[in-house]
A and B are shown apart, each in its own frame.
Chain A
Amino acid sequence: MRLAPRSLHGRMLLVSAVATVVALVLAGSVVAGLLGRFVVEGLDRRLDAELTLLASAVDGEGRIDRARLAEHASVLDGGPGWRWRIAGPDGNVGSADFSALDVGPPPPHGRGPDRFNKGPRPMEGASEQGVPVHARQVSLETRRGGVTITAAAPRDVVRRPIRGAVVPLLAALAGIAALLTAAMLVQLRIGLRPLRRLQEQVAAIRDGRASRVDEDQPTELQPLAAELNALAADTRAALSAARGSAANMSHALKTPVATLAIALRDQPGPAEQVARIHRTIRHHLARARADAVNRRTATPLCATVTDVMAAVTAIHRDRHFQVANEVADDLSVAIDAQDLEELLGNVLDNAARFAEARIAIVAVREGRRVIVTVSDDGPGIPPSERGRVAQPGMRLDEQGQGHGFGLSIVAELVALYGGSLMLGEVAGGGLAVSLTLPAAD
C-alpha cells in the first residue's frame, strides 16, 4: 500500500500537517500539564493552610482544642465535599461525614518529592458517593502518641479550572493548526508555481508553439530546464535526420530507377520488375516519411500562402492573373512548414497554369480542421476525371502534365496528416481545390 500521496503538493502538505499536529499535541499536553500542576499546587497550599490551622488546635499532649476549631469553623467549612479530620489519642474529631471518606497515598507515579517530605503528604481517594477527592495529611508527634490530621477537597475543584482552560486552549491550538496549514498551502502554491510554468512550456514545445523552455528558472530548476532543452534539440535533430535520410534515399534511388525504366521500356518482363521496384521504394519512402511527419507543429497559413504565391507568381511570370489571398492572419495549421509549402506549391502552381485572370485563396476553421480552398477561373476538370487526378499514388510521370498535375502528390501528403483533398467546381467553370487540414491549437 502506498502511504505517501503521488503529488509533491500532497507529500509536502502531508508532512507539514503531521508535523504541525504532533507539535501542537505536544504543546497542548505540556501546557495542560503545567496548568494542572499550578491548580493542584494552589489547592495544596489551601489544604496545607487548613492543616496548619487544625494542627494549631492540637497541644503537646495530643488534646484537641474544640473551642479553637469552632472559632475557625467558617474557614474549615469550604463547602460541600470539603472535609477534615484529626485522629489522635482521644479519638477522632472532624467533619460529620468524614468516615465515608476513603483516602490512601497516591499511586507511586504521583508527584514524587512530597513522598520524601516531612511536611504534608498528598493523598487521593473517594467519598461514599464515589466523588473523587484530593487530600493532604500530616502527622504530629505528641507526648501521648501520634496525631494524624487530614484535609480533603473534591477533586472537582482541581478539574473544573483545568477543564475551563483546556477548551479555549484546544480552540486556540486548532486555530494555529489551521493557520499553519493555510500558510503551507500558500507557500506550496508560490513555491511550486515555477514547476507549473515549466510544465506549460514543455507542453508548448510538444504542441510546436515553442522550440525550447525558458532557461531563466529558479536555481533548482535550471539544470532540469537545460536538460529539457537538450532533449528537445535531440528530438528535432533526430526528426530532421530521419526526414533528410528519407529525402536523400528517394533522391538517390529515383534517377537510377527512372534510367532503368527508360532502358527497359521495350522489354515487358523486366519493365514490370522495375515498376515493382519503383512501387516498393515509393511505399517504404512514404512510410518513412509518415513516421517523420511532425504533427505537433503550428505553421501560419496566411504567411505561407503569401510566400508560396510569390514563388508561383515568379515561376509563371508570363501569365497574368490576379491573386486574392483572403486567409485570416491568425489561422495556423498543424502541418510542418516544408510540407505545407509543398501542398500549397502544387495546388497554387496548378491554379497558376490554368487560371484565366484570377486565383482566390480562402480558408475557414471548422472545429479542429481548417479548410483551405484555392479556386481559379480556368477550364476546370470534368467530374469524371476528378477522382483519378486526386488519387494518391498517381504520379505526374504516370499521368503526364495535364490539368491536375501534381494534385496526386498533394493527396498523398494530405493523407499523411489525416486530411483530405476535394476537387469541385467554381460557379462559372473554374476548378476549386479544397484541402482539409488539421488546425493548430
Chain B
Amino acid sequence: MRILLVEDDRDLGPTLAAALRAENFAVDLAANGIDGGHLGETEAYDAAVLDLGLPGRDGIGVLQGWRAAGRNVPVLVLTAREGWSDKVAGFKAGADDFLLKPVRIEELVMRLRALIRRSAGHGQPRLDCGPLSFDTQTGSFELDGLPIRLTAFEWRVLSQLMLRKEAVVERLDLLERVYEGDADVDSNSLEVIVGRLRKKIGASLIETVRGRGYRLTCGG
C-alpha cells in the first residue's frame, strides 16, 4: 500500500515517513502544498496524510484541488490547531479523518489502516479469504490461524490483493501501489514477489490473469 504524506515540518515529515515504512507502507513525502497537490492529482495512492499548515499552498486548498480533479483517495488531515473550525473546514473540503498534532504514530497507523479498509468497501476489520486472513487493524496476515512473516514488498502486494479479493488487480495498478515514487522499478520484480508469496501461502490462492494482472481467489 502506498501513502502520500504531505508535511512541511523537517523533523516530523521524515519521522512519520520512516514510521509508516516500518509498518510496510510505501511512502512518498512532499514537503510543500504545491508538490503534494501535484502528486495527489497524478499518482495512485491508497491514502494521503495531509498537514493543513503548508507552505506554497494550504492543506485545505490542496484537498479541494484533489476533490475537484475527481481524486477520491481517502485523506487523513493533520493539524496543530485544537478546535473545531479546522475540522469543519477539513471535512467540508472532503477529508475522511482528522488527527491533532502532536501525532502518536500508533494512532496514525491505526487510523490510516481503518481508512484504507473502509474506502476499499470493507465494513469489518478482519478480512478472510479461504485459509488466509488479514487483520486490517494490526496489518498482520494469518494462514490457517498461524501468523506468516512477509517482507514489506510482499505485504504491499498481498494486502492490495486482499483488499480487492476476487477481483483482478491490474499489473500496472499493483506496481504503482507497491513502489515509492522515486524507486527504480524492474518490470520482472513483481513476478519475483508474487512467486515468493505463492511459496508462503500456497500457489492456488494467487491467480495470474494473462495480459491483465493478478487475482486473489478465495473459493478454492
Contact = CB atoms under 8 A, between A and B. Distances in A.
A346 B83 CA distance: 9
A311 B81 contact: no
A310 B92 contact: yes
B91 A251 contact: no
Interface string B89-110: 0111001111000100000000
Contact of B84 (A247, A255, A311, A314): A311
B88 interface: yes
Contact of B80 (A251, A311, A315, A344): A251
B175 to A, nearest CB: 32
Contacts of A345: 83-85, 87-88
Contacts of B84: 308, 311, 341-342, 344-346, 349
Main secondary structure of the interface of A (DSSP, over half): helix
A401 interface: no
Contacts of A346: 84
Contact of B83 (A314, A315, A337, A342): A342
Contact of B85 (A251, A310, A315, A338): A338
Contacts of A314: 91, 95-98
Nearest to B90: A311
B81, B83, B96 — most chain A CB neighbours (10 Å): B83
Given A342-B85, A346-B84, A307 B98 contact: no
Contacts of A247: 81
Nearest to A406: B84
Interface residues of B, number: 15
B115 to A, nearest CB: 10
Interface in A298-317: 307-308, 310-311, 314-315
A341 B88 CA distance: 7
Contacts, number: 45
A313 B98 CA distance: 12
Nearest to A339: B85
Interface string A268-292: 0000000000000000000000000
B85 A337 contact: yes
Nearest to A336: B85
Nearest to A337: B85
Interface in B141-156: none
A372 to B, nearest CB: 15
Given A314-B97, A315-B98, A307 B92 contact: yes
Contacts of B96: 314
A141 B46 CA distance: 137
A344 B92 CA distance: 15
A47 B182 CA distance: 126
A338 B88 CA distance: 9
B33 to A, nearest CB: 19
A438 to B, nearest CB: 19
Nearest to B118: A317
A247 B80 CA distance: 11
B91 A311 contact: yes
A182 B84 CA distance: 60
B121 to A, nearest CB: 14
A341 B82 CA distance: 12
A310 B95 CA distance: 11
Contacts of B97: 314-315
A349 B91 CA distance: 14
A341 B81 CA distance: 14
Contacts of A341: 83-85, 88
A338 B90 CA distance: 13
Contacts of B80: 251
Nearest to A344: B84
A30 B115 CA distance: 98
Contacts of A307: 88, 91-92
B49 to A, nearest CB: 16
B83, B85, B95 — most chain A CB neighbours (10 Å): B85
A337 B83 CA distance: 12
Given A247-B81, A251-B81, A342-B83, A308 B98 contact: no
5 contacts: A247-B81, A251-B80, A308-B84, A314-B91, A346-B84
Interface of B: 80-81, 83-85, 87-88, 90-92, 95-98, 102
Interface of A: 247, 251, 255, 307-308, 310-311, 314-315, 337-338, 341-342, 344-346, 349
The 5 closest A-B pairs by CB, nearest first: A345-B84, A311-B91, A338-B85, A341-B85, A341-B84
Given A310-B92, A341-B83, 7 more contacts: A311-B87, A311-B88, A314-B97, A338-B85, A342-B84, A345-B83, A346-B84
